[in-house]
Amino acid sequence: MDFKDLNQFVVLSETLHYGRAAQQCHTSASTISRVVQRLEEQLGQQLINRERKDVKLTRAGESFKEYAIRTLEQYQQLRDQLHTRTSELEGELSLYCSVTATYSFLSELLALFRQRHPLVDIRLRTGDAAQAVDMAKNGEVDIAIAARPDQLSPRLAFRPIKQVPLAFIAPNQSGPVSDALSQIDVDWKKIPMILSETGLGRVRVDNWFKQRQIKPQIYGQVSGHEAIVAMVALGFGVGVVPELVLSNSPMMEKVRILPVQPELEPFSVGLCTLNSHLNHPLVDAFWQVTEEWLTGQ
């Protein structure tokens, strides 16, 4: 039984007029009449009462009308379902970010992305934020959550998510570090510093000291800002970390932010990927979901 025939019969059963049915179906009244005859032959039942001048459905016609409507609806639902399945994105998307970024905002982003694209597998790698840009530039991951460097490679695209201030932090507990900081004129040459080995944060603090012609006393160099908070909390020295790291640290109450002037230039944290990856459907989808998430903030 042809779906086109079913549709034309439904139109006729609703208009109860061959001329109007033909007009809606973009055909002729004689064609509609032949469709009805063909259906009646297939069913072995009379669908239209021909004893009347106007169009009236027989009892079999009323039943067939319900069947035709239900069948056409189910057919449309199947088409929509199949179309959705074939249009859904599939594959694997690799991401890199710091642990802090994972539970501070990436978790919300990933939840929204999974809702929009449930068939995409996410491969998440975490590590030192200082390595994020290189991970993207070397093509080791599709997208990295990174701080935008002062000089962004022309090979890279960057989508900002949020501004993150940098802060000097000191231990809350009393000790040599706190005593040195309590002086009216702090001698920064004598303050033990705990800094990241590499990355934009290290560049920012190095420039800060250089502009003041101070050679800092570096007590320790670590990978990962989270470790800096821990060492400062234990009283080893003064550190410099993004406030986003501090606000998510379990040791936040054991350190304090120093009111150092001038303040360090903040980070711009966002998505980083190769320009050549922007045309990839999965990367483009993550870019769009990020835009949607930011709009809803």
Cα–Cα distance measured from residue 295 to residue 297, given in angstroms and rounded to the nearest whole number = 6
What value does the mean pLDDT take over residues 249-257?
91
232 and 155: one domain?
no
**Residue 179: which H helix or E strand, with range?**
helix 176-181
114 and 61: one domain?
no
Question: Among the three residues 34, 58, 87, which one is the final residue of a domain in this structure?
Answer: 87
139 and 282: one domain?
yes
Instruction: Tell me the residue range of the domain where 37 lies.
Output: 3-87
49 and 107: one domain?
no
Q: Three-state SS for 37? A: helix
Contact by Cβ (8 Å): 199, 147: yes
pLDDT score recorded for residue 240: 94
171 and 154: one domain?
no
Side chain identity at residue 251, one-letter code: M
Q: Please, which pLDDT band fits residue 52 given cuts at 50, 70 and 90?
A: low
The enclosing domain of 9 has a CATH number of: 1.10.10.10
Cα–Cα distance measured from residue 146 to residue 130, given in angstroms and rounded to the nearest whole number = 8
**Structural domains counted in the chain:** 3
What value does the mean pLDDT take over residues 110-128?
90
141 and 283: one domain?
yes
Is the pLDDT at 87 greater than 80? The verdict is no
Question: Among the three residues 44, 65, 87, which one is the final residue of a domain in this structure?
Answer: 87
Q: Is-above-0.75 flag for pTM? A: no
DSSP code string of 231-281: HHHTTS-EEEEEHHHHHT-TTGGGEEE---SSPPPPEEEEEEEEGGGTTSH
What value does the mean pLDDT take over residues 212-233?
91
**Phi, psi for 279 (deg, rounded to 5):** -85, -5
What value does the mean pLDDT take over residues 166-177?
90
Distances 237 to 128, 174, 175, 255 between C-alpha atoms, Å: 21, 12, 10, 11
Task: List the end-to-end C-alpha distance of the chain, in Å, as a whole number.
Answer: 53
277 and 155: one domain?
yes
Q: Please, which pLDDT band fits residue 124 given cuts at 50, 70 and 90?
A: very high
The enclosing domain of 285 has a CATH number of: 3.40.190.10
82 and 226: one domain?
no
13 and 31: one domain?
yes
Cα–Cα distance measured from residue 34 to residue 40, given in angstroms and rounded to the nearest whole number = 10
156 and 184: one domain?
no
63 and 199: one domain?
no
pLDDT score recorded for residue 237: 93
Is the pLDDT at 81 greater than 70? The verdict is no
282 and 256: one domain?
no
